[in-house]
Structure 1
Amino acid sequence: MRNEKEVKVRMNEPNKKMPFAEPKQGSRRVVVMGGSFNPPTLAHLRLMRAAVDALGAEKGIFVPSNHAYVERKMRRQRQEKEVLPEDMRLEMLAAMCKEDSRLAVDTCEYGRDPSAKTFETMETIQEKYPEAELYFVAGGDKLAVIPRWHRKEEFLQRFRLLVTRREGTSPESVIEKQPFLKQHADAFVLLAEPEGIENISSTRVRSLLRAGDERVAEQLHPLVWEILLREGRLNRNADITSFRGAYDFLSNFYATPVEYEGLVYQNAEAAFQAQKCLDRPEREGFCELPANRAKRLGRQVKLRGDWEEIKTELMLEIVRAKFTQNEELAARLLATGDRRLVEGNTWHDVFWGVDQRTGQGENHLGRILMQVRNELKERAAGEK
């Protein structure tokens, strides 16, 4: 058993302490994080930094899996076409490490048999840092499979496991209940998962890239994002199915002045809802309203008798006004190219948009936006 002392570790609870082994005389601490990194995300970076900070480690090393292993893993998910090349994953990891001299990448798993085990990886790192005490980062969900690991006894005797702990989970209870883990409890160190990474994952990044959704940039280091763009990994031909994030300007809720029939509204939604009223004074009551309040008020007014017959044409005129009165918004609409615009929603609006749950909807707002986009293209072509 190792001699132990208490060292404060960053936890969700204040002043929470966990046992650390006494470092060997003259030794350093090195954190190792393995994975596919397909692609690497801000979650990987923030977790590594949190681990290095908490341990006072000299080095944090990312070890990307080899291509054959990642391909086999992705094939099980039927996503083998989304496996990024080894050199590209290496470039992204290296770019992510640039601004922090404590971080590095080791390609010891490249060229290896895909069946090679984590133990061999840690042995290789140990040879490069013979005086270091190695800590391998593992998610709390991995605890249950550790008893099936290759050379598990030797692994836990020679190395330590830095287990990430999400708020509301209890790795301690898993260790306590599993005899093998409990026997080697002093090999585990718990680290609170950094805030803000719970919704970031490589799987989600790939999904957003596939959908051509530029909100994916929020989950990536800027240099990683640049590499993905350079390599054409963002599907620029995919339908735009959400008017949020990078495409929030397509929504009628987007805050931008819209002048229509002599009145200036704060957004297209207010302009549209105001047209439910025939009296100008009633319409004026919508001018200063934010979109959500305008929509709410629009449900309370007495509806003009011809509303159902004219509402689509009114929407076209208001959306046209929104984009022709604002050059920046017009340029952003044109920048969507020929991509299909779909007002996907979760509130079951199947007239103006498409219900994301069922995939059903007439998508009139999306169609109007595409019509206005075509008009802008024709106007731009005529001005040349």
Structure 2
Amino acid sequence: METKVISSCGFSNYNKENQSKIVVLGGSFNPPTTAHLALMKAAVDAAGAQLGLFVPTPFWYVEKKLAKTGHKEETLPDELRIELLNSMCSGDKRLAVDSCELQRQKGERSFTYETLEKIQEKYPESQVLFLAGSDKLHIIPRWHRIKEFVERFGIMVAKRQGEMPETVISNHPFLSAHKDAFTVFTVPDWLDTISSSAFREKLRSYDLSAKGMVTKDVWELLKKNGKIPKVIDRFREEYDFLSNFYPSELDYKGLHFLNAEAAFQAQKCLTKEEKMQFINLPSNKSKRLGRQVQLRPDWEDVKAEIMEEIVRAKFLQNPDIAEKLLTTGEIPIIEGNTWGDTCWGVDTRTGKGNNLLGKILMKIREELKLQKKV
């Protein structure tokens, strides 16, 4: 991957003479999300800029912020955040990363003016534009060296639905006097639903939809560096035994079944004769037949309890897979699926679901641990 970090010690392979406008976006980028990427691209497009620079803040500053929330251990190292940003920028040659802020010593104050000044020194022929949200307009007049700031640099203002930054600018004496320094552009509404903090929160709760908040490359790098919590979210390959479709025979309420799925589907029926239709069926045919039978009237009330009893019987009657379940330790178990089952599992496309089967498996795992101690 081509490195596009710009530091005070060197430059990227961009030709400065061809740069007329540079958009600068500062932040923690812990980690960088698709919202950061979309915001920068929208700003670069709106400004007609040739370069968009992501400027991450140093580790110690990010850690200090996260310490206030009790999650400072989630602070990503500077080197990793740079790598993540580079991977995110790799698909657009207009985007790059500037590491000048990372050289700040712990506790050293930083002002946006000085940061942009450093960037301006690297690109003396370019117009430097700072990217800010419209929610920052009310504090901009209090920024360090603000008069020099608006005379020397431009400010790109991201406008979201329902916001009226133009009105704020025109109604404020200082902002209106320097209105030529501001460029307002509209960003997609969905940007508000994605943030680094929301991503980290989802990871804490093993919400699979977190994956959709970052690019594929960023996700893989986080995973490679051990920043994605281990979770079992697919009942395949080494974890295929967790599935009710797994061929593990069991006895349940006087009948012998070839798999847990057959045992479960049979309980939709009230009579023994109807249930016996399932005793010799493989899992796929059992599921198909289960959709055709007449449901017992209390099915919705009893199905969760029945599922737990059957899954428990499956593992208690098959010591080999019970041992496999124990080897999963404390790893969260999620019945991830792409077919929209939000009752027994979690829809991996949305991260939504009650994960009842996953919870049952984890409950039985704890029971097996206790039995082993006795």
> TM-score normalised to the size of structure 1?
0.64
Change (3 A) 1:248 1:159: farther
CA contact (8 A) 2:132 2:157 kept: yes
CA displacement, residues 118-165 of structure 1 (integer Å, 9 cap, x when unaligned): 000111111111111111111121112112110111111111111111
2:229 equivalent to 1:235: yes
Matches within 5 A, 1:249-268: none
- Report how far residue 73 of structure 1 moved: 2.3
Q: Distance in 1 between matches of 2:304 and 2:37?
A: 50
- Report how far residue 46 of structure 1 moved: 1.4
- Report how far residue 103 of structure 1 moved: 1.0
Matches within 5 A, 1:125-274: 125-194=119-188, 196-236=190-230, 271=265, 274=268
Q: Which residue matches 1:37?
A: 29
2:89 equivalent to 1:97: yes
Change (3 A) 1:191 1:316: farther
2:67 corresponds to which letter in structure 1? R
Matches within 5 A, 1:57-72: 57-72=49-64
Change (3 A) 1:225 1:290: farther
- Report how far residue 35 of structure 1 moved: 0.8
CA contact (8 A) 2:19 2:51 kept: no
2:117 equivalent to 1:123: yes
Q: Distance in 2 between matches of 1:289 and 1:177?
A: 69
2:224 corresponds to which letter in structure 1? R
Change (3 A) 1:102 1:32: same
Q: Distance in 2 between matches of 1:369 and 1:106?
A: 47
- Aligned to 2:35, the other structure's residue is in SS state helix
2:101 equivalent to 1:109: yes
Change (3 A) 1:175 1:278: farther
> TM-score normalised to the size of structure 2?
0.65
RMSD: 4.7
Q: Distance in 2 between matches of 1:40 and 1:340?
A: 25
Q: Distance in 2 between matches of 1:86 and 1:195?
A: 30
2:105 equivalent to 1:86: no
CA contact (8 A) 2:265 2:290 kept: no
Q: Which residue matches 1:312?
A: 305
CA contact (8 A) 2:19 2:50 kept: no
CA contact (8 A) 2:132 2:158 kept: yes
- Report how far residue 172 of structure 1 moved: 2.0
Q: Which residue matches 1:47?
A: 39
- Aligned to 2:212, the other structure's residue is in SS state helix
Query: Structure 2: where are the runs of 5+ without partners?
Result: 1-16, 279-285, 315-324, 336-343, 346-354, 368-374
Change (3 A) 1:150 1:257: same
CA contact (8 A) 1:271 1:318 kept: no
Q: Distance in 1 between matches of 2:150 and 2:165?
A: 16
Q: Distance in 1 between matches of 2:267 and 2:169?
A: 59
Q: Which residue matches 1:73?
A: 65
Change (3 A) 1:221 1:311: closer
- Report how far residue 178 of structure 1 moved: 2.6
1:100 corresponds to which letter in structure 2? D
CA contact (8 A) 1:28 1:132 kept: yes
Q: Distance in 1 between matches of 2:290 and 2:130?
A: 51
CA contact (8 A) 2:156 2:183 kept: yes
- Aligned to 1:198, the other structure's residue is in SS state helix
Q: Which residue matches 1:369?
A: 361
Q: Among the aligned pairs, what percent are the same residue?
A: 41
Query: Structure 1: where are the runs of 5+ without partners?
Result: 1-24, 241-245, 322-332, 344-351, 354-362, 376-384
Change (3 A) 1:185 1:148: same
Change (3 A) 1:130 1:336: farther
Change (3 A) 1:276 1:170: farther
CA contact (8 A) 1:134 1:159 kept: yes
Tell me the matched-pair count.
307
- Aligned to 2:101, the other structure's residue is in SS state coil
